[in-house]
Structure 1
Amino acid sequence: MMSAAKKRSKKPKHQSDPQFNFLERKTKATLGSRQKKRLKKRLLSSKDSVLKPPENHKSEKNLGGNKSLFHPDELLEEIDDFVDSSGKVKGFLSDEEVDKEDPTPMGEDGFEIVEKPSNGNYSEPEDVATNIGVSDLPSAPTYDMTLLNQRIRDSLLILGDFKTRAPPGLTRKACVDSLLNDLCQRYSYSRLMINILYDLFPKEILEVVEANETDRPVTIRTNTLKTRRRDLAQALINRGVNLDPLEPWSKVGLVVYSSQVPLGATPEYLAGHYILQGACSMLPVMALAPKPGERILDMCAAPGGKTTYIAQLMKNTGSIFANDVNAERAKALLGNCHRMGVVNTVVCVEDGRKFHNVMSGFDRVLLDAPCSGTGVIAKDPSVKTHRSDEDIKQCVMLQKQLIIAAIDCCKTGGYIVYSTCSITVNENEGVIDYALRKRKVQLEETNLFGEKGFTSFKGLHFSPKMNRARRFYPHKHNVDGFFVAKLKRLE
């Protein structure tokens, strides 16, 4: 006959487990039958997942004879997490409370029983239907690029000879509007920005937006304080850099086509033999034409490309006051001056609009003014959509204040060069026209290549000498969009 102990051992493990007996004692008087089933099912699944070792786990013998991976006290603590001091399970309602709270009938497995109507007009519950609706919502609109390109070409063809090519009933305004909408969709421009470009280049609009999709060539400027251009070129060629002189207008520039080494980490770069600088950024310094021994102000100098170019043209003589309102950017300016071996420069952190109160009487002043960046879309595509009309107006206001301060910092007979990386008329010819009206200055030749400045634009009329200013465009000169004007202070 089998002993009583052996009979007891045949009971299901959970019935003889003291933790489950403990829970049963604590909850017997407080739980209804439905809650007991739910809790029992939950604890059994939890106990199996905790106590059942994985298939590849070591045997109990190898574990030292321990029959459980956790101490019983740990399981009691786990049970206490959802059983309060009165023995009632936290978060569980009594049968009466459940029925009052949710009268939906429950099945034996604990799931709700939803009866479908006999007429077949069954719909999912509201929350399920809502989730399905959200997942079925369409994503951002997509466009057929082939169709857009064809419509753009057709619109440009019609506008090229509107009288003979326009279909009956189509107005020029409607054709232009359709073209600009297609360009906005095709190249991801805001309507404001595409309008600015179209006003400037009505016949070249496609070339302009295409040029803005292409990166400009990488250019570097030789530091003649430390080396010669031909020596630098040979050293970089030996390191696997494919380059050419930036001819014919620059004697110190090199254009880089490809490189097997990072240009910002070569021994020549670290030694200050060259600096990475856009071709158009060299133009304002060339227009300024500083002479050795002069006193120069670079009003918005950071990160130092133009300042160090001025220093090498002055052969490290005279004095340069390089100012920037941003202290963090001024640190980069100072670092470049040290690396390039510039010793005639004082770095300042002042508001350029008030610099004339600090110091004046400079022979030449360079003002590379903050702007909207409409000429450097290839470098910063966010300009396409993140520039508002208010942003441009604020830039114009700041530029006017800065150019008046720059003139006041210059001595009589001195020169002021104003430049921006914007192509809008308001930020360029408009600011120069303001300076001509507010101070005794005149426009001078810049001796640069490029397109002439506008003497009139969309009903605005400027000084006839505005054609001495120079404009640079990506689609014509393969440089960033830029504007340079040179003024002479008369009194």
Structure 2
Amino acid sequence: MNLPENFISQMQHLLGVEEYQAFAESLEKEAPTAIRLNPHKQLSTETLFGQELEAVKWNADGHYLAQRPIFTLDPAFHAGAYYVQEASSMFVAEAIKQTLDLKQPLKVLDLCAAPGGKTTLLASMLNENSLLVANEVIKSRIAPLKENLEKWGFPNYIVSNHDPEELIDLEGFFDLVLTDAPCSGEGLFRKDPKARNEWSVDSVQLCSARQKRILQAAAMLVAPNGYLCYSTCTYNEKENQENAKWLTQTADFEEVKLNIPADWQVVEKGMGYQFFPHRTKGEGFYLAVFKKTQGAKTEARGKIKFNRLPQRKVELLKKWLEKPENFEFYEKPEGSIVAIPAKLTNEYATLFRTLQKRSSGFEIGQFKGEDFIPSHDLALSTAISPKLPAIELSKEDALKFLKKEHINIENAQNGWLLTRYQGLNLGFIKVIGDRMNNYLPKEWRIRMDIPE
């Protein structure tokens, strides 16, 4: 592998010449494939892909695969039963587990969220009274982020499209801000050869400066006694330790030390923790956690400006949700019904008032007259009622459904049916006599050919 000369010098300085050799050799090996299971969607791992799985030490839901399958052709992937995620980055869960009381209702922001790997990880950990905001500044990355969150099924989320500095009115609002900052991508050299060609000393300097700007904005958003989690997929000290030290020198934060078992082979730095591919089974990754010692706090208050759904229509909705009493229902001007957790209406109102470019959260469908048309978000949500009529599909028919092709359903009752694969919801169909309408969103359909 051709590595930039300045990168080689940098890593030899970081590791020493002898250990650098082991590091360089690890970059010649195939990157491991790992998945993280959705703890709220049951999936048997005994026969998953016909492989024996190896556990990721720092995440109970994480598993390595011996071979990389074609995930597009697995209906369980489309159902949100797991996320394909680089193993080292799953360490975020351990850091949060050691830092926050996850039994408490939390307001959490993933500041640089797309495509959603760490966002769905956060969603796995939060309880039903917590709120998750997934923000992404690049507009073209919003659609895949929202799709991944919908698949995961956590209903208490908002997706926003703001530059971090535009969020200043939410000063001190969040109990946790995760900042997985854009970086020079040194940890991706094995997986993405383009990252090597784009790397330079100047790019490291530019990334470090941009990260400081993002961190400065992130720091303002953390509530007193709240936490900021900073991560990159790179190795150099300018983007990692130096930025971590800069944060503690310029804002009211102190580093939080974690308890890391020695056999994980994670390297504790002056500030933060570093993964190296020759030590751990994963890619390059850096993480540091900080606690805010003082500062201003924004209290959640306000009124949601959407129209409340009339009670007679609320009654019609109740059968669609497992715990309808946990939500309040509002109708947007264009007709979409938003289900907002009853205990979080003030928090949502604050966010709706502040975030000009954002989703409205869990949109469960819309009414056409007195008929309710359920959304795909509802189909994949963990909040959906398990008692709705459903039909179990074979893998062949599940893939046909996901390609929006016709599937034969004999003796099916008229009306709405959930399609399922191995007990996992895939989406809605509506049966009208001998006709079946597939309500999978067009943009979600599988486009690749399915082997015979």
Whether the TM-score (by the shorter chain) exceeds 0.5 is: yes
Larger Rg: 1
**Cα shift at 1:235:** 4.5
More moved, 424-433 vs 335-344: 335-344
**Cα shift at 1:372:** 0.3
- Cα–Cα, structure 1 residues 315 and 216, in superposed 2: closer, same or farther, change >3 Å? farther
Cα shift readout 1:179-228 (whole Å, capped 9, x = no counterpart): xxxxxxxx31221121112111222122111111222211001001111x
Confirm or deny that 1:280 pairs with 2:88: yes
Confirm or deny that 1:473 pairs with 2:242: no
Q: In 1, Cα distance between the equivalents of 2:96 and 2:126?
A: 12
Q: In 2, Cα distance between the equivalents of 1:220 and 1:360?
A: 34
> Is the contact between residue 171 and residue 220 of structure 2 (CA under 8 Å) also seen in structure 1?
no
Which runs of 5 or more structure 1 residues have no equivalent in the other structure? 1-186, 456-465
TM-score (norm 2): 0.60
Q: In the alignment, what sits opposite 1:209?
A: 24
What is the aligned residue count?
A: 286
Letter aligned with residue 355 of structure 1:
L
Letter aligned with residue 276 of structure 1:
V
Cα shift readout 1:333-370 (whole Å, capped 9, x = no counterpart): 10011111121110000002332335542011111011
Q: In 1, Cα distance between the equivalents of 2:141 and 2:63?
A: 26
**Cα shift at 1:478:** 2.1
Aligned match of 2:119 in 293, 307, 310? 307
- Cα–Cα, structure 1 residues 407 and 400, in superposed 2: closer, same or farther, change >3 Å? same
Q: In the alignment, what sits opposite 1:262?
A: 70
Q: In the alignment, what sits opposite 2:164?
A: 352
Identity value in percent: 28
- Cα–Cα, structure 1 residues 207 and 323, in superposed 2: closer, same or farther, change >3 Å? same
Cα shift readout 1:436-457 (whole Å, capped 9, x = no counterpart): 11012111123344444433xx
Confirm or deny that 1:298 pairs with 2:131: no
Q: In 2, Cα distance between the equivalents of 1:249 and 1:394?
A: 32
Cα shift readout 1:259-289 (whole Å, capped 9, x = no counterpart): 6x52233121111111111111211233123
Aligned match of 1:246 in 55, 65, 85? 55
Aligned positions of 1:328-347 closer than 5 A: 328-347=140-159
- Cα–Cα, structure 1 residues 235 and 243, in superposed 2: closer, same or farther, change >3 Å? closer
Q: In the alignment, what sits opposite 2:201?
A: 389
TM-score (norm 1): 0.56
Aligned match of 2:191 in 379, 402, 417? 379
Q: In the alignment, what sits opposite 1:170?
A: none
Q: In the alignment, what sits opposite 1:326?
A: 138
- Cα–Cα, structure 1 residues 402 and 447, in superposed 2: closer, same or farther, change >3 Å? farther
Aligned match of 2:254 in 431, 442, 453? 442
Aligned positions of 1:421-440 closer than 5 A: 421-440=233-252
**Cα shift at 1:375:** 1.3
**Secondary structure at 1:487 match in 2:** strand
Letter aligned with residue 81 of structure 2:
H
> Is the contact between residue 232 and residue 273 of structure 1 (CA under 8 Å) also seen in structure 2?
no
**Cα shift at 1:242:** 1.1
Q: In 2, Cα distance between the equivalents of 1:218 and 1:359?
A: 38
**Cα shift at 1:247:** 4.2
**Cα shift at 1:393:** 0.7
**Secondary structure at 2:25 match in 1:** helix
Which runs of 5 or more structure 2 residues have no equivalent in the other structure? 295-452
RMSD: 1.8
> Is the contact between residue 450 and residue 470 of structure 1 (CA under 8 Å) also seen in structure 2?
no
Q: In 2, Cα distance between the equivalents of 1:316 and 1:338?
A: 16
Aligned positions of 1:452-467 closer than 5 A: 452-455=267-270, 466=271
Confirm or deny that 1:189 pairs with 2:3: yes
Higher strand share: 2
Q: In 2, Cα distance between the equivalents of 1:366 and 1:297?
A: 6
Letter aligned with residue 486 of structure 1:
V
Letter aligned with residue 144 of structure 2:
A
Q: In 2, Cα distance between the equivalents of 1:359 and 1:436?
A: 18
Aligned match of 2:13 in 199, 204, 207? 199
Q: In 2, Cα distance between the equivalents of 1:302 and 1:350?
A: 12
Cα shift readout 1:30-63 (whole Å, capped 9, x = no counterpart): xxxxxxxxxxxxxxxxxxxxxxxxxxxxxxxxxx
Q: In the alignment, what sits opposite 2:289?
A: 486
Letter aligned with residue 65 of structure 2:
V
- Cα–Cα, structure 1 residues 310 and 453, in superposed 2: closer, same or farther, change >3 Å? same
**Cα shift at 1:383:** 3.0
**Relative contact order, CA 8 A, sep 6+: which one is greater?**
2
**Secondary structure at 1:321 match in 2:** strand
**Cα shift at 1:316:** 4.3
> Is the contact between residue 32 and residue 65 of structure 2 (CA under 8 Å) also seen in structure 1?
yes
Q: In 2, Cα distance between the equivalents of 1:245 and 1:319?
A: 32
Higher helix share: 1
**Secondary structure at 2:288 match in 1:** strand
Q: In 2, Cα distance between the equivalents of 1:374 and 1:425?
A: 12
**Secondary structure at 1:475 match in 2:** coil
Q: In the alignment, what sits opposite 2:181?
A: 369
Q: In the alignment, what sits opposite 2:40?
A: 225
> Is the contact between residue 111 and residue 179 of structure 2 (CA under 8 Å) also seen in structure 1?
yes
**Cα shift at 1:232:** 2.6
Q: In the alignment, what sits opposite 2:348?
A: none
> Is the contact between residue 288 and residue 366 of structure 1 (CA under 8 Å) also seen in structure 2?
no
> Is the contact between residue 193 and residue 385 of structure 1 (CA under 8 Å) also seen in structure 2?
no
Cα shift readout 1:415-437 (whole Å, capped 9, x = no counterpart): 11101000001100000111011
Q: In 2, Cα distance between the equivalents of 1:360 and 1:490?
A: 12
**Secondary structure at 1:301 match in 2:** coil
